[in-house]
Structures are given as C-alpha cells and as structure tokens.
Chains A and B, each alone.
Chain A
Amino acid sequence: MPTTWAAHGPVVNANFAARVAYSIYDQLVRRDYLSGPGGGGIELVPGLATSWEQVSPTEWDFTIRQGVKFHDGTTMTVDDVVFSINNTYGAGSEPFAASGTIASVVAMDADTVRITTKNPDPALLARMATVMGQVYPQAYYERVGQEEFGHLPVGTGPYKWAGRVTGESVKLDAFDDYWGDTPPLNSITFLEVPEVSSRIAGLMTGEFDIATSIPPSQTRPIDNDAGTEIRAVAVENVQMITFRQYKEGRPQADKRIRKAMALSLDRALLADKLWAGLTTAGTYDFAGYGEYAIPERGPLPFDPEGAKALLADAGYNGEEIVIRIVGGYYTNMTRAVEASMEMWKKVGLNVKLDIIENWGQMGQEGDAYAASDNMWMTDPAGGMWFSWGREGGHRLKDWGGTAPAEFLKLGTDIEQGSDFATRKTAYGDLLELWDDLVPAILLYRPVEAYGVRKGLEWQPYTIFYMDFRAANFKDNG
C-alpha cells in the first residue's frame, strides 16, 4: 500500500490505490457502473458537473455543481476545476494526458468551465469520467505541495481521509457535508493483508467484511462457508503476449508466424480452466464501448490447422521463440504460458519460456513478453488506441518506432471522428487490422474475485474501484 494518495499520477492509477481513491474523489462526469449488468454499466451521468454542452466541434462547456464542499471545509469553485484538470493533465497522468487532446481549460463564469480540445474529441466526456476529471482544492494543494497532498489527500468524495498506519491500514471516515447521498458507512478501514490464506481466514472469522484479489483456485472455501460468498467480475483489462515484432530476422517479425501463434492457442479453454469459467478469451473489443462494441466479431478462433498452414507458408524452420514473463506479476500468467507451450508444440512451434524476476530486468531481450492493457475509458479512443496508437507509451517500441500508417489513420478517425458511423466503421476496421497484424496474442480478460460477507449489498465493478457510496452499499446484517 503506498503512502501517497495524490489525485493523479502513477500511484493512483494502480489497482490497490484506485480502490481507496474512488471514495475520496469525485469526477466531473460520473460513470454509473450500476446502469448495466454485473457492475459494468457505462452510462455517463452528472458528477461534479451538473450538465454539459458541446458548443463547437472542439469546445465543451461544463456547468459546475454549486455548494460542493471539499473535505477541508472549503467550497469547490470553477477555479479548482480548472486547476485540477490542468494539473492532472500536466502531471503526465498516463495515459489520459498522453492522449494529448486538451488545448485549454478556462473558467467562463462562476459556474461554467470550457474545455477546448486541439481537434474534435468525441471521447471528452468519457475522459472526464476517469482520473482526468477528478477535482481537488487548488488552495490546499498549492499550500502543502504535491508530496504533502499525497500524504493527506483532500477531495469531494463521500469519505474523507482519516489516517494511515504505515504498512497496516488506511482509514476513511464518512464526509458529513457530502453533496450526494449520505455515505452509508461511518468509516472504512482498508487493511493490507498480503497473504491470500490470511485474507480468506480473516473473512471467514468475521474480521473483514470484504477480501480482495482471491485467486480463482482458492474461491471454494469462501463459497462453501455459510457466512461468505465470492463475487467475481471479469475486469476491463486484457492480458496478452506482446511481440517484439521490430526485431528483423526473428520469427515474430513475420505476421504469419504471429498469427499462427495466436490461432494455435485454445484461448477459450485457457480462460475457462485458469479462471474457473468466470471469463472468456481476450479481445480489445470491450463491452464497455457500448454501441461501438462489435461482440459478433469475437476473438481470433482456435484453428491449429490454419496455424500449421501459415507456418508452412512462412517457411518457419523450428527456430526458438523466447517469451519473457515477470514471474508472479500477473495472476495465472505463468500457467497460461506453460499450457500454451504445449499447444504451440502441437503445431510445430518451438517456444521457450523465460521467467524473470521483475520489470527492471525486462529490457529488450526475448521475442515476446507478457503484458496487459486496460479499456481505460468507455470509448474506443481508449484501450488499443491509447496503448498502441500515436502516443502509445512504450509499446511504440514493439511497432519499431511508430504504428503502421493505416493503424494511425484509423485511430485518428476514432479519436476525432465527427459522427457515430465514421467512428464505428473506423473502429471495426481497426479491430480487423489488429487481427491481421497480430501485434499481441490477446489471452483473456482477467477476473477480480472478492470474498464478501453475506448480507452486504455491494456490487464489485468491472474496474478495480471499490464503491461504497449509498447507491452501492447496504449492510443487511
């Protein structure tokens, strides 16, 4: 558990911090996770902004909610909103800022903030429903500085910071002046219990109400206990084997071999067996993209014969392909790759697994490596485009410097497209292009399983946030 809880930056984007931070901060626009089944709703509803209007292709006016109090007792103003967005954007809170679409944020009057984008940005609302849209008090932030703010964060959320015991716990108390529904809990204590067995035991003895990150292989004792149950969700993330396709002369530089590696894997079987039937084979087409999603496309099929034909066509001569993974980093990844190696062997692929200890050792060694990616926001301008597109972080390296021109064109059409049809067509074409190029083998969506005390009405979301607002929490004893 980190000791800094600034509203932005790499720490708050991490899974464990997001669980806590979601109770401390509100966003300008709120994603209503309960508007859809299984905590995966995508409806964007008013948050700290009560309404919004697109006044031109590149200008959006947000009407800011009045009378909202920060935890330090001050009242939120448009200046706080302008400061927060600029500050988060400027802090390089990847990849939201890296998408680089915002030109300016200015206060128009006492209750209106105008965001101007460099190009038309149809995904702006979705962006404002992420970390990018979190608001914190300018005066306090500037007085204490980023570091101190990280230790004593102040937001507008339903729970306020009540303290931390190093290495043990973080405590939040209900914020009595919360602008929304009264928080249902007087306080929440997030305990750091690294050992799974201890988390399970503590849940079963009633010491904890909710235990996070229960591996699929250990859900049974919780389900078998009279007082507890497992609530699991496939999160908006995809785990993958990413190819270093820029390495000329190596087998993976040939897209036929990459595709053969994908086709020879029964990913539905992997997803089913490794994740206890709770998830499916991976794709970048997330249901969270709403009307843009194309579920009928589905993931690449399991086609070992097709894989053999592609390998023969490519003249693959059994050269060793090395996959690097950071041991224990992704739940089930080692087992997934070990099982995959048997499937690859059956079509004649010679794959070696190289397990390393940490990301620092990853370097550029090997031909492929295990990674994961998020949906990031409820718009197809997130996900694949965030990571593999124009500003796609380190994955630019996997393309060999820059993404192919066609990929960039389609991505730009999605990012800046002026109408639904254009964007949807571009998105479909981008998925098609992905399946042709196979920059990575998309294995499955991982599962986040919570052990929960029966009697708690609490829905886990398809993201790592834990929501204890009134709409999502009730204790029936």
Chain B
Amino acid sequence: MTRYILIKILRSTFTLWIVVSAVFLILRASGDPLYSIFSLGTPESTLDVFRAKWGIDKSIFEQYVIYLSDITKGDFGTSFFDGQPAWDLVVERLPKTLLLGGTTFVISVVAGVTLGAIAALKRGTFWDRGIMTAAVASFSMPSYFLALLLILLFSLKLRWLPTSGASTWQHLILPATTLGLTLSGSIARFVRSAMLEVLRQSYMRTARAKGAPKWRQIVWHALPNAAIPTVTVIGFQLGWLIGGSVVIETVFAWPGAGRLFITAIGLRDFAVVQMFILMVASTVIIANLLVDILYGLLDPRISVIGVKK
C-alpha cells in the first residue's frame, strides 16, 4: 500500500513537472507581458526597467531554472500586475471558488445520482426519456448560454435572484445551479448506465427472491455496486469544477480564482497563470489518486495495486 502510494506520488510529481514546464514555455512563447500591462505609449526605457525588475530580461533557460528552484522553496513568483505573491492572489480567491465548486458538487451529485437512479428504475418510461433528454440537453448546452437563460428567467423576469456578485448566499444560487445542471446531466447518464448493469446482476435477483423491500434492494445492493463507475466520473469532474468554472465566474462576476486566471492570461501575468495551472493540475491529480484509493474501499475485491484478489 505504502509503495503503491509512493509510486503514485512520484508519478504525480512527474506529471506536475511536465505541466509546469509546458505552461512555462508556452507562456513565454506567447509574447512579451510588458505590452499587455503597460499602455501603448510607454517608452522602451521604462519597459526595460520593469523587464529587469521582473527577471524577464534573462534567457528562458535562466528563468526556468530560477522558477523551478523557487517553487521548490514555496515561492511561486510575484504578479507583474499587482505586485503581490501569486500564491497569495490565488489562495485569496480560492475560498470563493471552493464555495462555488463545493455547492455545485453537492447539487450535481444529489441531483445526478437521484435522477440517474430513477431513470434506470423506470427504464423505457416517460420518466426515463424525460430525464435523459434533460440530461443530454444540460450538458450539451454551453454553460454560458444556460447562465444567460437563468439570469433572464430568475433575475429579469421573476426578480427572485441577483444577477452577479458574491456578497450574499442568494448570489451563489444561479452560478451553482448553472454548473450543477451541467454536471448533474453527465452524472445522471453514468448512474443510469451503471444501475442498469447492476440491476441485471444475479445478486439483485437474489435480493428480490429473498423478498427484500424495494428501497433496500436499491440502497443496499444496487447503488453501492453502481458507485464505482460513478465515482470515476465524479473524480474527473472535481478538477473540472476548479478549472471549468472560469466561464461561469465571468458571467456571474463571481470573484473566484477562475476569473483571476482569465484576467491573468489576458495580461500575460506569468506567475499567476502558472500558479493557477499548478493548482488545477494538482487538484486533478490528487482527485484521481483519491479515486484509485476509493476503489479499494468501495469494492474490497479490488486491491490498491489494481489486481483482483
């Protein structure tokens, strides 16, 4: 178990290094950040002062070595635009992103699992078709468009909810619902497929033959067995919740890390972009690691080294 986790961590570190290096090089190939931050008429002499101050007057290799050395010491660089440490800027925004992501996660898992299970149990009926049509629609529709539709209905027409910002709990409802609907659609589809597979299994027939109540069949026998593929999908979506909320944060003016990322990209604010990518990549990698470990807990037949006992 320990060896397995160590290997996983080593692999994860290697993956992170690849990601960090790629982002480092791509950012520097995408243009000089000075022209994005300063206005057109700024004299070159002024720009040279800032190039030296921010260390981007050095060769890319020198910058790369300094960057890698710094991140091993916990120094993720300083934002060109704000003059603050990139770590502080991203971490300052993180609670809002986590609040949105966490709420979305709860909404999507509860709605997705419930609706997916209902669709499977009512297979071929109006309920099944209705839920699956809605699920396909929800994840096919661009989240940006869905967000505007929800603003139109709940803010402009009904005047129930605010359009943008994050100062009250009401502000959370529309962005979390938009993201949650998108995510719950795909979860519902996976849950339905997994449930249909499980419902055909012999142990389900045994449970029915034993006269177990319907709810017990579903909650005790079907759902836990359908959980493995579902957990895989949900694990993948955890990273998406951090990185994929970028558009929604922009539409709803939600002050999370995603919007900081968009602004930082526009400004070629190297340190902030690198910090954000590092954070998203770490989240995805850690989520996948947790999913692997969860497999073993959910299905004791699967050992942590991935071989059936």
Contacts and interface: CB of A to CB of B under 8 A. Distances in A.
B70 interface: no
Interface string B44-70: 101000000000000000000000000
A144 interface: no
B253 A193 contact: yes
Contact of B251 (A4, A168, A195): A195
B266 A167 contact: no
Interface stretch (A33-41, A246-254, A266-274, A356-364): A356-364
B82 A4 contact: yes
Interface centre among B43, B93, B166, B252 (most CB of A within 10 A): B43
Contact of A2 (B38, B81, B148, B151): B81
Interface stretch (A110-118, A201-209, A256-264, A423-431): A201-209
Contacts of A359: 31-32, 35-36, 40
Contact of B163 (A205, A362, A394): A205
Contacts of B101: none
B39 A198 contact: no
B41 A197 contact: no
A415 interface: no
B155 interface: yes
A395 interface: yes
A294 interface: no
Contacts of A98: 41, 43
B159 interface: yes
A169 B259 CA distance: 13
A201 B163 contact: yes
A202 B164 contact: yes
A202 B156 CA distance: 8
Interface string B266-303: 10100000000000000000000000000000000000
B84 interface: yes
Contacts of A92: 43, 46
Interface in B232-271: 250-253, 255-256, 259-260, 262, 266, 268
Nearest to B32: A360
B156 A167 contact: no
A194 interface: yes
B83 A360 contact: no
Interface centre among B38, B41, B251 (most CB of A within 10 A): B41
Interface in A162-203: 165-169, 191-195, 197-199, 201-202
Contacts of A47: none
B75 interface: no
A394 B42 contact: yes
Interface residues of B, number: 47
Contact of A94 (B39, B166, B262): B39
Contacts of A155: none
Interface string B135-148: 00000000000001
A394 B41 contact: yes
Interface in A365-398: 371-373, 386-387, 391-395
A168 B255 contact: yes
Contacts of B85: none
Size bin of chain A's contact surface: 35 or more
Contacts of B268: 358, 360
Contact of B253 (A168, A357, A392): A168
Nearest to B151: A201
B37 A10 contact: yes
Nearest to A195: B251
Contact of B156 (A3, A94, A205, A360): A205
B41 A167 contact: no
Nearest to A98: B43
Interface in A298-331: none
Given A192-B253, A358-B31, A361-B31, A207 B163 contact: yes
B41 A387 contact: yes
A166 B37 contact: no
Contacts of A372: 40
Contacts of A194: 250, 253, 259, 262
Contacts of A205: 155-156, 159, 162-163
A93 to B, nearest CB: 10
A81 B238 CA distance: 55
A394 B44 contact: yes
A197 B151 contact: yes
B253 A191 contact: yes
Nearest to A205: B155
A216 interface: no
Nearest to A391: B43
A95 B46 contact: no
Nearest to B148: A197
A94 B259 contact: no
B34 interface: yes
A10 B159 contact: no
A397 to B, nearest CB: 9
A198 B255 contact: no
A389 to B, nearest CB: 11
Contacts of B185: none
B202 interface: no
Given A167-B260, A362-B35, A207 B162 contact: yes
A13 interface: yes
Contacts of B81: 2
Contacts of B164: 191, 193, 195, 198-199, 201-202, 207
A371 B38 CA distance: 14
Nearest to B92: A166
B43 to A, nearest CB: 5
A158 interface: no
Interface string B11-46: 000000000000000000011111111111111101
B156 A201 contact: yes
Interface string A220-258: 000000000000000000000000000000000000000
A108 interface: no
A10 B155 CA distance: 37
Nearest to A194: B250
A393 B41 contact: yes
B279 to A, nearest CB: 16
Contact of A392 (B30, B41, B163, B262): B41
A391 B44 CA distance: 11
Contacts of A195: 164, 250-253
Contacts of A357: 30-31
A103 interface: no
B98 to A, nearest CB: 14
Given A14-B39, A167-B256, A197-B251, 4 more contacts: A98-B43, A191-B253, A195-B251, A358-B36
10 contacts: A4-B82, A4-B83, A13-B39, A192-B253, A198-B151, A201-B151, A202-B155, A358-B30, A358-B266, A394-B43
Interface of B: 30-44, 46, 81-84, 89, 92-93, 96, 148, 151-152, 155-156, 159, 162-167, 250-253, 255-256, 259-260, 262, 266, 268
